[in-house]
Amino acid sequence: MPEPDASIENKPSPSRRTLLGLDWLNFLLADVQTGVGPFLAIYLAGYKWDEERVGLALMVGGIAGILTQTPAGALVDFLRSKRALVGVAVAALAAGALLIALFPSFWPVMGAQVLIGGTSSAFLPAVCAMSLGIVGRAGFDIRQGRNQTFNSAGNVIAAVSMGLLGYFVSNRSIFFFIAVFAVPTILVLLLIRPTDIDYEVARGATDGEKGDKAESVRMLFQDHPLVIFLVCAVMFHFANAAMLPLLGEMLAKGQGRSSMMFMSACVVTTQFVITLIAAWSGREAETWGRKPLLLIAFGVLPTRGVLYTLTSNTDLLVAIQIMDGVGAGIFGVVSVLVIADLTRGTGRFNLTLGAITTAVGIGGALSQVIAGSIVHHVGFRAGFLFLAGVAAAAFAILYFFMPETRNIRLATVGSSLGQKRNPD
């Protein structure tokens, strides 16, 4: 008898309406999320906030996300109404954007950041869960690449729109833009049919497995490859999170209203590259494996940090963002696939994704305040070199200690199929 083919799986056939809804959800979620981050840094700098206070505001949003990310993942695993969860989170994000626009003083901004950070933590696990439940494991690699492509395309449109609004109208108008686009984002959820989502597959369980067999998170994190990946992911985001906001603050000095256009150009460059590379990453992750692609993503980050220190030319600084697109495009797709590989059959995919995102959020939040403090006391050059050093260390750990996880996934599938054919 021939060996079981590890690539054979029950492949669902979701409706075109559901797939269209998933595409548009990823596109529109980018529109409502883009303004929170680098644009916020420039907006607050316009109200005489210094680097430390801007870093604090960004850190508060990050901490709120940290505290809610793991519970959000657990909630996504538990709830069947994943669409409703996304809708509530989008509405809360819109409310936070309006609060920032109407009251740009310290405590309202901090409150808005808590609201935005706390509710936005549901987006990644909910969308990944719906995607996995809709297309199944066999189609998840390509689907994750497609999700990232539409998300990045939405980021391009949003960044251009926000740059134009900031230049021709006002920086404040950007946050009204976010609130307005929350409405179609909520409505497009109705295109996704609940009957097209397999809720057992959506949480990473094996077909037909019930929740009482799910592995504990403590057991999952005794898996050495998962711990190594966690360390690498935290260091990657620690090095990456502060780079674009710091670049925005550097561009804002002495540029006046033009700073929003420069930041828009940076975001557009990054997201355009992600749009081009994300679908390719999803396809190649299945043939190349996960680790070679991750090494590319990790390798461009320290190079980018060093290059920021070598020029003050605005056009060159914007061009360097091509590297940001390469790194973010690959990491955004492949990191989710690695987590799916390592949690296959556990029923804890979204909870683990949330837990790792929590740790990543800690790295990102600390990055904002530590790098902001370094820049405030020493200068932008020292800040970028510090972040580049952390990125180089993350690359070394990934190269020497992280195994290839695609083989783990294929071995798991082959074993599962073998057990089905030989129940003894």
Q: What is the pLDDT of residue 159?
A: 76
Which has more confidence, 359 or 20? 20
Instruction: Express as a percent the part of the chain with pLDDT over 70.
Output: 85
Buried b (16+ CB within 10 A) or exposed e, 153-162: bbbbbbbbbb
Q: Residue 108: pLDDT band by 50, 70, 90 thresholds? A: very high
Distance between CA atoms of 22 and 151, rounded to whole angstroms? 10
290/333 Cα distance (integer angstroms): 10
Query: Looking at residue 46, what is its pLDDT?
Result: 80
d(CA 406, CA 289): 6
Return the top range by mean pLDDT from 121-125, 251-255, 313-317, 367-371: 121-125
> 422 burial class (0-12, 13-18, 19+ CB within 10 angstroms)?
exposed
Q: Is the pLDDT of residue 424 over 60?
A: no
The predicted pLDDT at position 408 comes to 64
Predicted confidence band of residue 232 (pLDDT cuts 50, 70, 90): very high
Average the pLDDT over 209-216 and give the result: 49
The pLDDT confidence band at residue 417, using thresholds 50, 70 and 90, is very low
Are 397 and 232 a contacting pair, CB within 8 Å? yes
78 within 8 A of 26, measured Cβ to Cβ? no
Place 345 in a pLDDT band, splitting at 50, 70 and 90: confident
Average pLDDT over residues 127-154: 90
pLDDT of residue 206: 58
* Among the ranges given (100-104, 122-126, 263-267, 281-285), the one the predictor scored with the smallest mean pLDDT: 263-267
pLDDT digits (tens, 9 = 90+) for 66-97: 888 889 988 998 888 899 999 999 999 999 99
**pLDDT confidence of residue 238:** 93
pLDDT band with cut points at 50, 70 and 90 for residue 247: confident
Looking at residues 166-174, what average pLDDT do you find?
Answer: 85
Residue 136 has pLDDT above 60, yes or no: yes
Q: Is 401 a residue whose pLDDT tops 80?
A: yes
**Confidence category of residue 56, pLDDT binned at 50, 70, 90:** confident
Domains defined for the chain, CATH in brackets: 16-199+218-413 (1.20.1250.20)
Give the pLDDT of residue 258: 67
Q: How far is CA 20 from CA 147, 187, 403, in A?
A: 11, 13, 35
CB distance 282 to 142 below 8 Å = yes
Compute the distance between CA of residue 308 and CA of residue 379 in angstroms, rounded to an integer: 12
**More reliable by pLDDT, 210 or 159:** 159
Task: Specify whether the CB–CB gap between 362 and 66 falls below 8 A.
Answer: yes
Residue 423's pLDDT is 43
